[in-house]
Structure formats: C-alpha cells, structure tokens
Amino acid sequence: MSSPIAESPDAQPKPLQEQLLLEPYDAVVVLSFGGPEGPEEVMPFLRRVTGGRGIPDSRLEEVAEHYYARGGRSPINGQTRALQEAVRGELRRRGYSTPVLVANRNSEPFLADVLRGTHDAGAERVLVVTTSAYASYSSCRQYREDIAGALAELADEGRTLVVDKIRQYATHPSFARVNIRLVTEAVRACGQPEDDKLRLVFVTHSIPNAMDDTSGPGDGEGNLYDHQHDEIAHVILDEAGITLDRNLSGALVYCSRSGRPEQPWLEPDVNDHLRRLAEDGITDVVVAPIGFVSDHMEVVHDLDTEAAETAAEVGLRMTRVPTVGTDAEFVMGLVDLVEERAAQARGERVDPIAWPGAAMPPVCAAGCCPNLRTAKPAACGKD
Ligand SMILES: CC1=C(CCC(=O)O)c2cc3nc(cc4[nH]c(cc5[nH]c(cc1n2)c(C)c5CCC(=O)O)c(CCC(=O)O)c4C)C(CCC(=O)O)=C3C
Ligand SMILES: [Fe+2]
C-alpha cells in the first residue's frame, strides 16, 4: 500500500452501509391496503376486508364482479411496489442505504411476516409509511391496529421490535401542491369550457357518518376526515384558479359506499352529483380523486368505469385527474416525513410544516379516530 490514507485504519472510507443510516430506523415499510392478484384470491381478500363488519353478501358479490371483470386482479399491489421503488430511490439519492419493504393489510405479504423477516436480518426499529393520507379510523387507526397486531404476533415468538409511523400527510404541503398541479393541468387540458359550464368534482372514499363524526383527536371537534378533504379541495380551487386566471367552482363528493343501506355514510355519491350537475346545465367536469394516492380499484372501477358511464349517460364531458402515485414531488414529501420522523425519534427539535391546516402528530392522541366496534390495541399512539 502506497497511500498514507489507506495505512491508517481510521481514515479508511467506511462501507456505504455504515456511513448512511437513517438512525434510529433499520428499515422502512410501505404499508398498504392490499388487493387480490388472481381470481382465486378475490373472495378470501373480500372476506378479510369485511370480516365481522356486517357488509351484506350481495355487496360482496357485486364488488367481487368488479375484480373478476379485470381478471381477478387489483392494480393496487403493483402501485404499492412502484411507490416502494420510488421511496427507495429517493432515500438512495439522499444517501441512505436503509432497506425499503412492502406489506399489506389484506393480502400478502402481511405485516407480521415482513417484520419477522426484517427482524431476522437484524432490524430492531422500523418506520412505517402508509398509503393513506387522511385522518379517520379506516385510514389511520386501522393501520395502527395492524401494526399492534403484528407486533403481538412477533412478541409471542419472543421477538421485540419497535415500530413508528410517519404522520398522516394530507396536511403536508407536498400532497396539496401535487394535487394542485395535477388538477391545474387537467383543467387546462379539458377543452376550455366557460367557467359557468365547468365544475371540479373532488372525490374521496365514503365512510360511515359515525366514523367521520369521531375522526381526529378526541379533544377536537370530530369530522377531521371530511374537514381535511374540504380544505384541500378549497386550496386546489383557489390555486388552480389563480394559475389559470379563472373563476373555478367545485364540490367534495364520495364514492365506494358500502355497509348496510340503513346506516348513513357520507354523501352525495359522485354519480348522483354528476346527474345533478347535468340538470343544472353543466357541460364539463374535471374529476379529481383527492382521497386516494394511487389509481387502484376504487378509481378504475368507481370513477373510470361507473362515474364515466354516468357522465356519458347525462351528456357530461368528463376528465379524470391522475392520483399522486409516484409523482417525484409527492415522493420527496414522503421522504421528508421519513427524515422528520427519524429526527424526532432521535430527540431532535423539528418544526413540522403543514398546509393546508395543522400538522397531524406522529404519535396519535389517546382515543384518536376510535374503533367504534371493538376496542383493539393500536401502535404509534398514546393509547
Ligand atoms: C377511508 C377508506 C379508504 C382510503 C384509505 C386507505 O387507502 O386505506 C379505503 C381504501 C380502500 N378500500 C379498498 C377496498 C375495499 N374497501 C372496502 C370497504 C370499506 N372501505 C372503507 C373505507 C376506506 N377504504 C370502509 C369504511 C369500508 C367498509 C368496511 C370496513 O369498515 O372496512 C371493501 C369491502 C367491499 C365493499 O364494501 O366495497 C373493499 C374491497 C381498497 C383496495 C382497492 C383495490 O383493490 O385496488 C382501498 C385502497
Ligand atoms: Fe375501502
């Protein structure tokens, strides 16, 4: 060895893996809803989703047909893997070599198996990024219950892991900014109808009214699910209007209601809303699925198929806005939140940025977005 640097052990460049840690996390897990990947997986998937929730069989059979019509395969798992790749790519660009894995609530790979695998590889502390942005039992606490359930299963095997999650990101500015850009581009491309002939239609997943009423920290006013969507819809209208120098109007509506007919869910349904707009003389709609992060079954069936049919039937021209998917700015926002959560876990001071609205806490308040049917343990919270 002739280089003096190489002769001093301390001066040896460290292998990449030692240099670039996302302390204290040993792995990042992208946790998604999951979906079937073949016809034989459809019914087991649907039973898992609705287990003990009183969803009528007729509704399950109807939803199964949406999947069978597409070869029994949901696009969601491919989209979750694409997000995994994108998050991994962005972490690598920032110099981290931390592994990025995928797990699902309702289809393989299940979270307990993924955590077992990463624990076998030496991981002790893991950070979860979920594929849902908003407050509510379905979009937040239920994932925290999944984490607690997986940790309990591993504890029975004598394994100890700590799992944290990033804060819900509906109020992280990157999420609103990307949606503003996508809607602005869609309005620009939709053929320039007069402002009073055009409506923006913001769509999210309906949930039971009782679930919305209790969404958010227990000391808040509830209805945080609806409220966060409403705020995003408003900033999109304002910002797209300013950029395009137009007077845009729109409304927040819902898709994919299920449950018993007598149980109230958030309304209006997107199809009813489109019919009403046509009656009011509207000619063009721009439909923005702001409630979803990728073009999964709810989007390709409930919007691109059903709502598109309704629009055609009543003579509305419909443009569907893409979901955030793996948009680079969205992914950078997620990785900003990964770095933010790691800094918090290290005890560093951080000022969480938020727009529109307030930052969601990385550790949920006790009783936040409660499970209204059964009390179940939930991780990443104060209860
Ligand atoms: C708030 C919310 C999100 C957004 C947040 C998040 O993304 O997590 C979401 C996402 C999704 N929902 C999905 C699918 C389904 N949701 C169902 C049923 C339900 N969803 C609910 C709420 C939500 N759901 C609720 C309150 C129910 C009633 C039963 C229950 O209380 O659990 C059912 C049962 C059949 C039916 O009745 O429709 C299915 C098949 C898929 C996968 C799509 C694919 O395969 O590509 C995704 C991403
Ligand atoms: Fe759902």
Neighbouring residues of 329: CB distance < 8 A, sequence distance ≥ 6: 174, 177, 178, 181
Kindly give the number of the ligand 1 atom that is closest to the alpha carbon of 296: 46
Å from CA of 21 to ligand 1 middle: 35
| Domain boundaries defined on the chain | 17-170+327-345, 173-320
CB-CB contact of 29 with 111 (8 Å)? yes
- Strand pairing partners for 37? 73
CB of 206 closer than 6 A to ligand 1? Answer: no
Distance of CA 336 to the CA centre of its chain: 16
CATH label, 173-320, candidates 3.40.50.1400, 3.10.129.10, 3.40.50.150, 3.90.1010.10: 3.40.50.1400
Q: Are 202 and 240 in contact (CB under 8 A)?
A: no
Residue with tokens 């808040």: 220
Rounded distance from Cα 287 to ligand 1 centre (Å):
20
* Overall average pLDDT of the 169-176 stretch: 98
Digit-coded pLDDT (tens) for 89-110? 999 999 999 999 999 999 999 9
CA distances from 347 to 18, 126, 129, 334, 369 (A): 21, 16, 20, 20, 26
Of the candidates 12, 251, 31, 21, which has an alpha carbon nearest to the alpha carbon of residue 148?
Answer: 31
Average pLDDT, the chain: 94
Question: What token pair was written down for 199?
Answer: 């409506």
Which of helix, strand or coil describes residue 364? Answer: strand
35 lines ligand 1 (CB under 6 A): yes
Write out pLDDT tens, residues 242-268. 999 999 999 999 999 988 889 999 999
Is the C-alpha dihedral spanning 293, 294, 296, 302 positive or negative?
positive
Polymer length in residues for the chain:
383
Assigned CATH class of 17-170+327-345 = alpha beta
Q: What spacing in Å lies between the alpha carbon of 344 and ligand 2's midpoint? A: 31
Closest to 135 (Cα-Cα) out of 48, 232, 50, 49: 232
Question: Which of the ligands is closest to the CA of residue 373?
Answer: 1
> Which long-range contacts does 358-364 make (Cβ < 8 Å, 24+ apart)?
358/171, 359/167, 359/171, 359/172, 360/135, 360/167, 360/168, 360/169, 360/170, 360/171, 361/167, 361/217, 362/164, 362/165, 362/166, 362/167, 363/164, 364/140, 364/141, 364/144, 364/217
341 ligand 1 Cβ < 6 A: no
Angle, helices 39-50/57-68, rounded to nearest 10 degrees = 140
64 Cα to the center of ligand 1, angstroms: 13
Q: Is the CB of 106 under 6 A from ligand 1?
A: no
- Calculate ∠ Cα 137-33-292, nearest 5°: 75
116 close to 157: Cβ distance less than 8 angstroms: yes
229 lines ligand 1 (CB under 6 A): no
Ligand nearest to the CA of 45: 1
pLDDT of residue 215 exceeding 90: yes
Does ipTM exceed 0.90? Answer: yes
The reply to whether domains 17-170+327-345 and 173-320 share a CATH topology is yes
Q: How far apart are CA 275 and CA 282, in angstroms?
A: 10
Ligand 1 close to Cβ of residue 204 (< 6 A): no
CA 208 to ligand 1: nearest atom: 26
d(CA 118, CA 225): 33
Binding site residue list: 74, 143, 205, 298
Q: For the residues 131-151, what does the mean pLDDT come to?
A: 98
pLDDT digits (tens, 9 = 90+) for 36-47: 999 999 999 999
Ligand nearest to the backbone CA of 203 = 1
Which helix (DSSP H) or strand (DSSP E) does residue 365 occupy? none
Going by the DSSP 8-state scheme, the letter that residue 110 receives in this structure is B
252 three-class SS: strand
Ligand 1: atom nearest CA of 137 is 1
Q: What confidence tens digit (pLDDT) does each residue in 107-126 have?
A: 999 999 999 999 999 999 99
Predicted model pTM: 0.94
Position 6 pLDDT exceeds 80: no
Task: Indicate which residue's Cα is closest to atom 36 of ligand 1.
Answer: 258
Query: Rounded to the nearest whole angstrom, what is the distance from the C-alpha of residue 205 to the centroid of ligand 2?
Result: 7
Q: List all residues 6 or more positions away from 327 whose beta carbon is below 8 Å from its beta carbon.
A: 178, 182
Pocket test for ligand 1, best of 256, 265, 323 (most atoms within 8 A of CB): 256
> CA-CA distance, 210 to 225, in Å (whole number)?
11
Q: What is the pLDDT of residues 327-357, one digit of tens each?
A: 999 999 999 999 999 999 999 999 999 999 9
Assign residue 200 a region: left if phi > 0, alpha if psi is -120 to 50, beta otherwise?
beta
Looking at residue 282, what is its pLDDT?
98
260: CA distance to ligand 2 center in Å?
14
From 235, 35, 23, 257, select the one nearest 131 (Cα to Cα): 35
Nearest CA to ligand 1 atom 45: 35
- H/E element, 39: helix 39-50
**Tell me, what's the pLDDT at 12?**
57
